[in-house]
Amino acid sequence: MNRFRPLGIAVVGTGRMGADHVRRIDRVISGARVTAVVDIDAERAEAVAAGVDGCTAHTDPAAAMAAADVDAVLVASPGPAHEAALLTAFEHDLPVLCEKPLTPDAASALRVMEAEAALGHRRVQVGFMRRYDTEYVRLKALLETGRLGRPLMLHNRHRNVASPPFFTSSMLISDSVAHEVDATRWLLGHEITAVTVLRPTRSAGAPEGLRDPQFVVLETDGGALSDVEIFVNCGFGYQVQAEVVCELGTARIGDGHALVTTMAGRWGGTVAQDWTERFAQAYDDEVQAWVDTTRRGEVTGPSTWDGYAAAAVCEAGVRALEDGRRVAVDLVERPPLYR
Scanning residues 248 to 307, which ones bind a second copy (CB under 8 A)? 248-250, 255-258, 260, 262-279, 281-297, 299-307
**What angle is formed at CA 261 by the lines to CA 256 and CA 263, rounded to 5 degrees?**
155
# residues near a second copy by CB under 8 A: 189
* HSE-CB of 322 using CA atoms within 13 angstroms: 6
Contacting range for a second copy; rule: CB under 8 A; set: 39-47, 60-68, 138-146, 246-254: 246-254
Under the binding rule (CB under 8 A), the answer on residue 224 touching a second copy is: yes
Q: Which of residues 53-92 bind a second copy (CB under 8 A)?
A: 53-54, 71-72, 74
Binding mask 141-180 for a second copy (x = CB under 8 A): --------xx-xx-x----xx-------xx-xxx--xx--
Q: Which of residues 313-332 bind a second copy (CB under 8 A)?
A: 313-318, 320-322, 324-329, 331-332
What is the nearest approach in angstroms of a second copy to the Cβ of residue 57?
A: 17
Give the separation between CA 51 and CA 58, rounded to whole angstroms: 15
Give the separation between CA 199 and CA 209, rounded to whole angstroms: 13
Give 39 or 182: the residue with its C-beta nearer to a second copy.
182
Give 42 or 122: the residue with its C-beta nearer to a second copy.
122
DSSP state for residue 338 in the 8-state scheme: G
Give 63 or 185: the residue with its C-beta nearer to a second copy.
185
Under the binding rule (CB under 8 A), the answer on residue 245 touching a second copy is: yes
Integer CA distances (angstroms), 318 to 306, 327, 329, in order: 18, 9, 11
Give 39 or 99: the residue with its C-beta nearer to a second copy.
99
Query: Which residue of 41, 105, 144, 164 would you call a contact of a second copy, by CB under 8 A?
Result: 105
Crossing angle of helices 178-188 and 134-145, in 10° steps, is: 30
Query: Which residue of 68, 145, 208, 238 would you call a contact of a second copy, by CB under 8 A?
Result: 238
Give 36 or 102: the residue with its C-beta nearer to a second copy.
102
Give 42 or 303: the residue with its C-beta nearer to a second copy.
303
Contacting range for a second copy; rule: CB under 8 A; set: 35-43, 59-67, 138-146, 190-198: 190-198
Q: What type of residue sits at position 80? A: P
Query: Which residue of 19, 25, 34, 36 would you call a contact of a second copy, by CB under 8 A?
Result: 25
Identify whether 213 is preceded by a cis peptide bond (ω within 30 of 0): yes
Give the separation between CA 339 and CA 323, rounded to whole angstroms: 33
- Classify residue 300 by burial, with Cβ atoms within 10 Å: 0-12, 13-18, 19+: exposed
Phi-psi category of residue 213: left, alpha or beta, with phi > 0 → left and psi -120 to 50 → alpha? beta
Give buried/exposed letters for 32-52 (b at 16+ CB in 10 A, else e): bbbbbbbbeeeebbbebbeeb
Separation of CA 231 from chain center = 20
Query: Which residue of 61, 85, 201, 333 would you call a contact of a second copy, by CB under 8 A?
Result: 201
Give 42 or 91: the residue with its C-beta nearer to a second copy.
91
